[in-house]
Amino acid sequence: MSELLDQRRYLIPFRSSLLPQIFTETLVIGAGAAGIKSALGAAESGDVILLAKHPSDVSNTAWAQGGVAIPLGDTDSIDSHVHDTLCAGGGLCDEPAVRLIIENAERSLNSLVALGAQFDLDETGAFQLGREAAHEHNRIVHANGDATGREIIRALNHAAAESKRIRRFNDCFAIDLLTATEAPGAPVLGAITMHPKFGLQIIWARHTVLATGGAGAVYRETSNPKTATADGVAMAYRAGADIADMSFIQFHPTTLYIAGAPRSLISEAVRGAGALLIDQAGHRFMPDYDDRAELASRDVVSRSIIHHLASRGGTHVFLDARTIEGFKNRFPTIAKKLAEFGIDPSTDLIPVNPAAHYAVGGIATDLQGRTSVKGLYAVGEAASIGFHGANRLASNSLLETLVMGQIVGETIQSAPGHGVLPTPVPINSDIRPSERGELDIADVLSSLRSAMWRNVGVERSGPRLDDAADMIEFWARYTLDKIFDDPIGWQAQSLLLVASLITRSAQWRTETRGCHWRKDHSESSDSFLVHDCWNRFESAPRTRPVLCAQDSIPSSGH
């Protein structure tokens, strides 16, 4: 337990009765695919406020390239997709969650098409189905080649704009969830937010949905937009919800490495199309590490690159895509990004290195997206329903956002008491200004991200994790005690908390499993065949067994 990281309930001092008050049936925080889908469902039966700190085109959803995994082909089946997901998940997938999501895959695709989303079709009018690593069949539905996320967001945004029951608050930052008391189990009643024009506002809601996306910004190297600061996980933890499996961060092996520029993803479909990984000396090194070479799973390729660079030196390796015909047509978004840096993939090598890509863990939920705290739901990358286990199968995350967004919306629709708005209660947060010295936030963030990459990155070990925990604790002492009045400060505070949760979970899990690789415990251990759940009211993690097909995920406190 850390005094500041675990005990601070709200980031700012306020008196709810003195702030402007807004009432709604459902508040959805986050406007990526998970948030918009949930909002559309909830709006079937009541009023919804859908808010986001940035426009939807700056979100993990909008940046998604490869596509959505859906078992559609003649030879494909739900069982095969379930099997591939369980294999990728390293023994930690909850099968009821896997079955629920994959059984609803086609339904969620149809509902997206009904909203106007246009996916790439073949000459017969059927969906073109791409292939990605560790999938037994071609089952990746995509749009405009490698711009699937953009098309999904376009269609969902259009539908949300048409809905008379959805009020959109753009550029609105959610700071904290509201609970009547600070005692364990106090239900969530909405959120306190900051809007650049309207200032601080209290939004009271009967149902609050966190759809705040991933945690890539905790790391120096990431494929995510810098806005992926895991605010939702931090808000939920402060409000007393369970957070699960945080050690599992998936690292993508190939992001464009241009010193000084943000990393951007070079989809694994490029390796699928024949691109090879070579080192500075022109040696194709992947066959030295794994028989599947470039098509080994993401964690294996990322580790191999890290090993290779450690033994040979250098900051990056190269993708050789010169043999791929029609690169610009097949991967127009990637080709455009490469052109910005003067790289022509038909003649030039593409410099790449691994980067943090996907947060497998998050806010623990049941099969309806309900968290351990009444009134609070979580969905998408911010949530952890047990679908991905210890490692995510490629293109399964957009699928999860779409299916679970729909299910959360339907759960809210069927909740009793429609039309009854929440009753406000006085909530006071009294935080005193700190007398401790100040650290420069930009410095703290840059040091945090570097430390997380070095010590809690692709390769981990006990001593390095302990060092990271000490550093986070030190920065937290001088950052968590302050009162900020803008999103940069609040995000920094949340990033420190989330970095601490990832590190604690990685320290606790003294084994190697899925995308969590411990150099000092290189084997998987049956004693860790459990989910680890963290709650700020408990001094040690609670564990939950992995669920088999016949089990149901224990119901939340709703």
Ligand X SMILES: Cc1cc2nc3c(=O)[nH]c(=O)nc-3n(C[C@H](O)[C@H](O)[C@H](O)COP(=O)(O)OP(=O)(O)OC[C@H]3O[C@@H](n4cnc5c(N)ncnc54)[C@H](O)[C@@H]3O)c2cc1C
Neighbours of 114 (CB within 10 A): 10
Applying CB under 6 A, does 53 fall inside the site for ligand X?
Answer: yes
Interface mask (CB under 6 A) for ligand X, residues 314-353, using x and -? ----------------------------------------
Element (H, E) at 50: strand 48-51
Q: Which stretch binds ligand X (CB under 6 A): 220-228, 281-289, 334-342, 457-465?
A: 220-228
497 touches 5 (CB < 8 A):
yes
Applying CB under 6 A, does 130 fall inside the site for ligand X?
Answer: no
Axis crossing angle, helix 462-479 with helix 441-455, rounded to the nearest 10: 170
Looking at the Cβ atoms of 161 and 183, the one nearer to ligand X is 161
How many residues form the binding site for ligand X (CB under 6 A)? Answer: 45
Supply 21's token pair.
Answer: 């008050």
Q: How far is Cα 294 from Cα 299, in angstroms, rounded to an integer?
A: 12
Tell which one of 4, 27, 31, 360 touches ligand X (CB under 6 A).
31
Tell which one of 95, 151, 231, 511 touches ligand X (CB under 6 A).
231
β-strand partners of 318 = 278, 351
Tell which one of 43, 52, 98, 177 touches ligand X (CB under 6 A).
52
Beta carbon of residue 295, minimum distance to ligand X (angstroms, whole number): 16
Look at residue 129 and give its three-state secondary structure.
strand
Residue 24 backbone zone (phi > 0: left; psi -120 to 50: alpha; other: beta): beta
Task: Give DSSP secondary structure letters for 55-86.
Answer: -TTSSHHHH--S-EE---STT--HHHHHHHHH
Beta carbon of residue 310, minimum distance to ligand X (angstroms, whole number): 26
Applying CB under 6 A, does 302 fall inside the site for ligand X?
Answer: no
Backbone angles phi, psi at 286, to 5 degrees: -60, -40
Total residue count of the chain as it appears in this document: 558
Applying CB under 6 A, does 29 fall inside the site for ligand X?
Answer: yes
Beta carbon of residue 38, minimum distance to ligand X (angstroms, whole number): 9
Beta carbon of residue 151, minimum distance to ligand X (angstroms, whole number): 12
Tell which one of 4, 6, 16, 30 touches ligand X (CB under 6 A).
30
Beta carbon of residue 253, minimum distance to ligand X (angstroms, whole number): 13
Closest to 190 (Cα-Cα) out of 401, 180, 14: 180
Supply 535's token pair.
Answer: 């709650």
Indicate the pairing of strand 362-364 with strand 383-384. Answer: parallel
Long-range pairs, 106-111, Cβ under 8 A, ≥24: 106/70, 106/71, 106/72, 107/403, 107/406, 108/399, 108/402, 108/403, 108/406, 109/68, 109/70, 109/72, 109/141, 109/402, 111/406
Beta carbon of residue 442, minimum distance to ligand X (angstroms, whole number): 19
409 touches 121 (CB < 8 A):
no
Q: What share of the chain is helix, strand, coil (3-state, %, to 5)?
A: 35, 20, 45
Beta carbon of residue 265, minimum distance to ligand X (angstroms, whole number): 4
Q: Which of residues 264-283 bind ligand X (CB under 6 A)?
A: 265
Looking at the Cβ atoms of 234 and 465, the one nearer to ligand X is 234
Applying CB under 6 A, does 409 fall inside the site for ligand X?
Answer: no
Applying CB under 6 A, does 32 fall inside the site for ligand X?
Answer: yes
Looking at the Cβ atoms of 171 and 182, the one nearer to ligand X is 171
Q: How far is Cα 36 from Cα 56, in angstroms, rounded to an integer?
A: 10
Catalytic-residue membership of 263: no
Interface mask (CB under 6 A) for ligand X, residues 178-217, using x and -? ---------------------------------xxxx---
Interface mask (CB under 6 A) for ligand X, residues 347-386, using x and -? -----------x---------------------xxx----
Q: What is the DSSP letter of 433?
A: P
Looking at the Cβ atoms of 372 and 397, the one nearer to ligand X is 397
Give me the sheet containing 249-256, strands edge to edge: 249-256, 350-359, 317-320, 276-278
Tell which one of 224, 250, 353, 535 touches ligand X (CB under 6 A).
224
Supply 506's token pair.
Answer: 């990685």
Beta carbon of residue 311, minimum distance to ligand X (angstroms, whole number): 29
Applying CB under 6 A, does 65 fall inside the site for ligand X?
Answer: yes
Catalytic residue among 298, 504, 518, 544: 298
Tell which one of 40, 49, 51, 480 touches ligand X (CB under 6 A).
51
Supply 26's token pair.
Answer: 């459902």
Beta carbon of residue 392, minimum distance to ligand X (angstroms, whole number): 8
Q: Which of residues 442-501 bind ligand X (CB under 6 A)?
A: none
Tell which one of 46, 90, 130, 149 touches ligand X (CB under 6 A).
149
Applying CB under 6 A, does 89 fall inside the site for ligand X?
Answer: no
Looking at the Cβ atoms of 2 and 56, the one nearer to ligand X is 56
> For the chain, how many helices (H) and strands (E)?
17, 21
Applying CB under 6 A, does 34 fall inside the site for ligand X?
Answer: yes
Q: How far is Cα 85 from Cα 89, in angstroms, rounded to an integer?
A: 6
Looking at the Cβ atoms of 195 and 374, the one nearer to ligand X is 195
Beta carbon of residue 491, minimum distance to ligand X (angstroms, whole number): 8
- Kindly list the residues in this chain that would bind ligand X in the complex (CB under 6 A): 29-35, 51-54, 56, 59-61, 63-68, 148-149, 173-174, 211-214, 223-224, 227-228, 231-232, 265, 358, 380-382, 395-398, 401
Query: Looking at the annotation, which residues are catalytic?
Result: 298
